[in-house]
Structure 1
């Protein structure tokens, strides 16, 4: 690839020194030949060309601050270079907005810069379109896509984080509403992501900048607190640092660096809020960091620090022996420094410091340093354990609201570390119990869990585990999950597997429910033959099920919708059967009659001008029967009343019709024009069997609210140690609207059964 760059340096924006040097090194001489490039010529040339390409496309564009737009891509690329990103990442930093803001296509990016750069630019462009404050379903889908993008190439998220960090640095130029929206999204999504990826320098700055716009008064107070007596605090820190340096050198410990700093504003504020303390009560507002040579020297330095200054009991944390999920390693201790003021001391090697600052990017920036002989070897799988777990359970979690809660909990939660009897370390979310531990070991261990021993002593299954606990799970062959477990497990994996077990245990009921749904939709004639036919098996496979029975089970508890199954059946029939002649005499029975019916579109209705919602009783007094509450779209029949109430409209098949003589029955039907154009609602009553837990009714009502379904009545029945029943009175427009509502409710993971009932008592 013959890449060249312009010899003219831009004059309308400040260039980093490295970029200026790169551009100058690739200027063409007067003969048109490219000058000799320094080492890694092609990589530098790719970066330079990406800059020139972005500069030409963004020329004339301005940011809200009034500065040239190209300043933003330059800063993003600069952040990525500081992280040690490769040439493709830095090029993507320059180009990340060109597809969205100019007429350039992804194909042109690939033609100019290769497939790797195109993939990164496309990934960042897609992430930029995600709206994390929109409706629950869309927000959940955006999270799913974001985590999938991370799993495919984590560099996409790192480029996006650099983009977000520079946008946060220039946020003051937007209006207050936009500032708060972007700051909230940053605090809830991007700062936790930076933390999970271990990029500490991004995480702290994103949090402080978000804090500045979300809580401006609290931010100002924290600035005042930290700035007060700053000179005195810095003098104390320098004195402690110098004392430690001298002690370490006397003990022949290699000291790479000794530095001191105050903690970040949001970190102090959050600690004050969580611990309900005033500023002067927080111990570790200031910290001294010691960089030594080896793991062994870390622990020797700790002993020296404790000998030089009195340690505060219970304030020691060993993140070297038990690293954080983002690979952070360090020793933390709090000691009483000079003048009786507490000071945190952090001790780590240079390699650990690189990981603490750069996280996942540390092996890009410092790959040339290699790995010390004493360093703990960490595979790529170890680095992304939390991401892999998210991807595993999100496949099965259908309810969008719960998915979002678990995602945010997984991003924010700190882990506790417990051990198996064999000494293997298992990280779990804070507050996790023995049941969470059991399911983390294996699904079958969780399903057959009957008890637990922690540190050799029997404990109740709901006992929260602590750092360093040794956990042994006791199992029984006939054991099974209890509904009570859902009241105390905290990990999404455990909660999801408990619910899966209960849904599988109701498999026969789900299959029966699905058969009823399909029979009502397709009719009885030939129904059994259809389920045993090749088109039915093909439809099951199209819906990602191995058998027709599996498909029915999925339909029964809402994994797939009735419309999808019917459409897949119709497509399978069409593909496997030749056109059927109009002679229906030989198709009066069996599968062929049903298949023919499935392939027809139904009779066309003539326009009707009547304003009455029900045809056949125009001008007569009538009412909808409360015993069955028929809905538009359902077959109905009229019953002539014996009193003065006129004609009552029932669903066909209503049990109350069995005792009605035939001479009182009147054929009636819904007016299709009135049904299509009218937004009138009709009452319907449903019973939902759910796994009993705190907040389940609230979640269901919230889900219905999102669907804009009015609930005019609600009643809950609970039974100790069993499932609960929730009876709801809903207002829906027609039968299709009810089916749509049913399908959405069945997707909720706590819902086991759902059916229509007569009026709630």
Structure 2
């Protein structure tokens, strides 16, 4: 563990003006706050933040970032507060610490929701200052280095999986390849221990068999380049064990069949020399077609720049070669961290394009599963390049379609897409893009995202935008039904209901606006009685709570019941006047009234059966129906109009399925009797908006 003076000396070595007293105070503060806390390894807990701070000094990051690393666990794991941090170390450090700190109020959430909420807060903080991510990556890297001390194998596997799915790809997306490779290796060891042991064992054997083969190949490459007048550095290594395993899994081959085990790096003095070196390598050894990539002229999203090629060396041995300058190499290994080094003149905007996409996903996510799913998509590594007709370059995941491309350009373009051209030829929107495609999106202002697109889009941004648009469309349609129900209720009120009464009702119900009110009415989240009372306080005063709850049933009477015995209509079959009915009575319970053909009766319920009949004047009970609408604008409004024209009152409405081109709803509709329900179903079946309507 770094001692106090060693950490300060590291910072002063690249930042002579650093506030030594403030750094010392942060070091002492974290030691005091963590006190006697221990890590799983048995080490003092404060050794962890100190080591993370040491990682930040390796990257030569500014003083505030180093102090944030020292303090990043104090709020989460001790009695310290953000206010304490701000008072002692200033608002900038407090803001960064808060970005890294997990929310204490979500400790009781289920594991997936807690992970999603942590990720949500982390991404939002990262969008404001990328240093939050740099500290978090350092925190995760050090935790992975000590992961083997945790005794619970399930916990180790969970942390390793989270690292592989979220943090290693995030490191890759900001260009911190050193962090990415080490995280992947440590996670790989936990998740696939047998494969890890096999591959690392075979690499050890190769080192023994080949001896100094890597050094020999590197020397021969440097000699060939020197003879061409190029002053370069050449280094070689075996490829990353996790990278080898991925190739074995993707190609379904054994270790012996993976031919490109060795990789070499050529560091040149300038960009021109990179291309000259590439020419020498290609004329000295045969290059493998399809393996050359020019990331200098077309950098990756994270700023990565290099020339990549694969060569056939002696005895058909394949080797990978990367050619780059020294500046490229530093940026490639440490990415955005390299730009945040002390006194770096040019720092990239923290809100880089892919990060803005992540923030859109955070805003659009409906629940924990969506957030995690879309975030993993947004940071996935495998990319292709596609161009707009004007030559703008966009990077997308492999498997992306024109719809993904449209949303990558702009959310509005994606929402209005109706067709696409790839390389000048009309193609379906589900067509998979290839590297280098020129994509033209055909749009219409009257178009909107389709639910069916979710079957083929692959980017998190596209999926989040489509789901948000579909939910908004559903909300508008339900609000339309709510407006019709509102008008019906307003007609029954003892006073004329105008805008003033509506605004007052919205305020009394603590809703956002009129659309929110109509949505709650349409989705049956607001009862008629609650709405009436909000519109005209006191209008339901003649009813007690029980009468209000059962006010739709006040016209019902049942023959065959003992005087004073209560009853309720069964929720399984929803009998209405006109149905043949039977009663089930259990001690201490109300009589449950079922339709005679209710499937529940066949289950042998332990209750006394009673022969019942509807009273002569019984009218008004909720019948349940299933209605399948065509998925197009106006169909829900048409259905609501049919209910209104037939005098039905919606008690509950729920969408149970949406499968292009249909929407399926289950609806509880208050009707007078069986004949009324049958008429309403017949009216629905006659409508062009309805594919199917049946009682359930």
Pair 1:267 & 2:243 matched: yes
Contact 1:420 1:470 in 2 (8 A): yes
Aligned twin of 1:116: 92
| Inter-CA distance 215–496: structure 2 relative to 1 (3 Å threshold) | closer
Alignment of 1:360-379 (within 5 A): 360-365=336-341, 367-368=343-344, 379=348
SS of the counterpart of 1:203? helix
Aligned twin of 1:424: 392
TM superposition shift of 1:629: 2.3
Aligned twin of 1:629: 574
Aligned twin of 2:123: 147
Pair 1:75 & 2:28 matched: no
Alignment of 1:80-159 (within 5 A): 80-126=56-102, 134=110, 137-159=113-135
| Aligned partner (choices 526, 530, 535) of residue 594 of structure 1 | 535
TM superposition shift of 1:144: 2.4
Aligned twin of 1:744: none
Aligned twin of 2:431: 463
1:65-111 residue CA offsets vs partner (Å, 9 max, x unmatched): 22222322221111111122211111122222222333333222222
| Inter-CA distance 44–562: structure 2 relative to 1 (3 Å threshold) | farther
| Aligned partner (choices 637, 648, 662) of residue 724 of structure 1 | 662
1:563-617 residue CA offsets vs partner (Å, 9 max, x unmatched): 6x999x99xxxxxxxxxxxxxxxxxxxx9983414999985679xxxxxxx9995
SS of the counterpart of 1:453? strand
Pair 1:380 & 2:349 matched: yes
CA distance in 2, matches of 1:340, 1:488: 40
SS of the counterpart of 1:228? helix
TM superposition shift of 1:46: 2.1
TM superposition shift of 1:399: 4.9
**Number of matched pairs:** 620
SS of the counterpart of 1:46? helix
| Inter-CA distance 405–685: structure 2 relative to 1 (3 Å threshold) | farther
TM superposition shift of 1:258: 1.7
Alignment of 1:533-682 (within 5 A): 533=501, 535=503, 548=514, 550-551=515-516, 562=525, 594-597=535-538, 603=544, 624=569, 629=574, 649=593, 663=616, 665=618
SS of the counterpart of 1:392? helix
| Inter-CA distance 667–203: structure 2 relative to 1 (3 Å threshold) | closer
TM superposition shift of 1:143: 3.0
Pair 1:359 & 2:335 matched: yes
Q: TM-score, normalised by structure 2?
A: 0.75
Alignment of 1:406-417 (within 5 A): 406-417=374-385
TM superposition shift of 1:441: 3.3
1:253-291 residue CA offsets vs partner (Å, 9 max, x unmatched): 342x32111222112112211221221222332210111
CA distance in 2, matches of 1:544, 1:233: 72
Aligned twin of 2:138: 162
| Inter-CA distance 391–595: structure 2 relative to 1 (3 Å threshold) | farther
TM superposition shift of 1:243: 2.3
SS of the counterpart of 1:187? helix
| Inter-CA distance 17–556: structure 2 relative to 1 (3 Å threshold) | same
CA distance in 2, matches of 1:167, 1:81: 17
Aligned twin of 1:491: 459
| Aligned partner (choices 167, 172, 179) of residue 156 of structure 2 | 179
| Inter-CA distance 105–128: structure 2 relative to 1 (3 Å threshold) | closer
Contact 1:638 1:648 in 2 (8 A): no
Alignment of 1:328-347 (within 5 A): 328-347=304-323
CA distance in 1, matches of 2:73, 2:423: 55
TM superposition shift of 1:194: 1.6
TM superposition shift of 1:350: 1.5
SS of the counterpart of 2:441? strand
Contact 1:525 1:593 in 2 (8 A): no
The CA RMSD measured in Å over matched residues stands at 4.7
SS of the counterpart of 2:478? helix
TM superposition shift of 1:421: 1.7
| Inter-CA distance 642–293: structure 2 relative to 1 (3 Å threshold) | closer
TM superposition shift of 1:347: 0.9
TM superposition shift of 1:344: 0.4
Aligned twin of 1:311: 287
SS of the counterpart of 1:305? helix
Contact 1:433 1:462 in 2 (8 A): yes
Aligned twin of 1:236: 213
Pair 1:227 & 2:204 matched: yes
SS of the counterpart of 1:151? helix
CA distance in 2, matches of 1:599, 1:82: 72
CA distance in 2, matches of 1:757, 1:188: 45
CA distance in 2, matches of 1:455, 1:161: 40
CA distance in 2, matches of 1:199, 1:108: 32
Contact 2:116 2:371 in 1 (8 A): yes
TM superposition shift of 1:160: 1.9
TM superposition shift of 1:191: 1.6
Contact 1:44 1:87 in 2 (8 A): no
| Inter-CA distance 73–473: structure 2 relative to 1 (3 Å threshold) | closer
CA distance in 1, matches of 2:400, 2:581: 65
CA distance in 2, matches of 1:438, 1:618: 69
| Aligned partner (choices 4, 9, 15) of residue 3 of structure 2 | 15
TM superposition shift of 1:405: 1.7
Aligned twin of 2:405: 437
SS of the counterpart of 1:268? helix
Contact 2:164 2:184 in 1 (8 A): yes
CA distance in 2, matches of 1:263, 1:282: 11
TM superposition shift of 1:638: 8.5
Aligned twin of 1:391: 359
CA distance in 1, matches of 2:398, 2:593: 57
TM superposition shift of 1:526: 6.7
| Inter-CA distance 313–114: structure 2 relative to 1 (3 Å threshold) | same
| Aligned partner (choices 200, 204, 214) of residue 191 of structure 2 | 214
SS of the counterpart of 1:229? helix
CA distance in 1, matches of 2:68, 2:360: 29
Consecutive unaligned residues of structure 1, counting only runs of 5 or more, are 1-12, 26-36, 372-377, 571-590, 607-613, 631-636, 652-659, 669-681, 693-713, 731-752
| Inter-CA distance 508–159: structure 2 relative to 1 (3 Å threshold) | closer
Q: TM-score, normalised by structure 1?
A: 0.70
Contact 2:173 2:379 in 1 (8 A): yes
Aligned twin of 1:64: 40
Aligned twin of 2:299: 323
| Inter-CA distance 363–65: structure 2 relative to 1 (3 Å threshold) | same
| Inter-CA distance 418–408: structure 2 relative to 1 (3 Å threshold) | same
| Inter-CA distance 423–683: structure 2 relative to 1 (3 Å threshold) | same
CA distance in 2, matches of 1:415, 1:148: 24
Aligned twin of 1:287: 263
